[in-house]
Amino acid sequence: MNTKEEILKELEKLYPDARPALLYRTPYELLVAVVLSAQCTDERVNRVTAALFREHDTPEKMLSLSQEELEKYIYSCGFYHNKAKHILSASRDILERFGGKVPATLAELQTLAGVGRKTANVVYSVAFGGDAIAVDTHVFRVSNRLGLASGKTPEAVEEGLMKEIPQKDWSKAHHWLIWHGRRVCHSQKPDCVNCTLNGLCPFYEKTKSER
Ligand code: SF4
């Protein structure tokens, strides 16, 4: 077994039940929640969507809100102006081009206005069971530190991870890396001393003398 395989095995052992922390009931709700989750905690998104989805849980109902009204709901998630714009554009697109149903293919998801590659990947893998690795800030950082996939852009890291990880594990690996980033491999102060991956981690090897 090579180092990268050992890392993946350990991550799977650490997070066998890794799954998204965002609460949703339909692909549409997941899509909205993922848009809101950029630079925001899942806990806060869940609080906001609990109120928002009470009356606006479909593209039609979302579009009954003006940009300003939607901004009031989602204000606490940050970047509310752009997020509201993206949610409304995507809702309009879903209604006009896909009969009100979120499309189930990655290619179609990526054509939705206001939906970036990361959001499309998450919805494709989580809501539709497709194989995809969404690279968010945690996946990006942890993959680079562990040397699982090195790259300066999310696209480069996504490509690297897809080469290293068997396709059947892509979606699970996305969650393993997020959970490790949240629980241990923090952005500012990674808990390397207590990390069970430290013997396999190039970042730790490089920085341990500074500790
Ligand atoms: S050893 Fe440190 S840098 Fe490497 S994965 Fe663990 S916490 Fe992250």
Residue 171 amino acid letter:
S
Q: What is the pLDDT of residues 195-209, one digit of tens each?
A: 999 999 999 999 987
With CA atoms as reference, report the closest residue to 14 among 184, 191, 208, 202. Answer: 184
What is the torsion angle, in degrees rounded to the nearest 10, for the CA atoms of residue 102, residue 105, residue 110 and residue 111?
A: -70
Structural domains for the chain: 3-17+134-210 (1.10.1670.10), 27-128 (1.10.340.30)
CB 175 within 8 A of CB 183: no
Q: What is the pLDDT of residue 19?
A: 85
Please indicate, yes or no, whether the overall pTM of this predicted structure exceeds 0.85. Answer: yes
What does the block give as tokens for 160? 């690297």
The minimum-distance atom of ligand 1 relative to the CA of 195 is: 6
Q: What is the pLDDT of residue 1?
A: 81
11 lines ligand 1 (CB under 6 A): no
Low-confidence ranges of the chain (pLDDT < 50): none
The minimum-distance atom of ligand 1 relative to the CA of 204 is: 1
Q: What is the pLDDT of residues 113-139, one digit of tens each?
A: 889 999 999 999 999 999 999 999 999
Q: What is the pLDDT of residue 99?
A: 97
Instruction: Please give the helix or strand (H or E) that residue 145 lies within, else none.
Output: helix 137-146
The preferred substitution site among 138, 140, 195, 206 for testing ligand 1, maximizing ligand atoms within 8 Å of CB, is: 195
Q: What is the pLDDT of residue 12?
A: 96
The preferred substitution site among 10, 203, 207, 211 for testing ligand 1, maximizing ligand atoms within 8 Å of CB, is: 203
User: Which residues are within 8 A (CB) of 26 and not within 5 positions of it... i.e. 6 or more apart?
Assistant: 57, 102, 127
Q: What is the pLDDT of residue 208?
A: 83
Residue 153 amino acid letter:
T
191 lines ligand 1 (CB under 6 A): yes
* 172 labelled catalytic: no
- The pairs formed by 78-82 with CB atoms below 8 angstroms and a separation of 24 or more are 78/39, 78/40, 79/38, 79/39
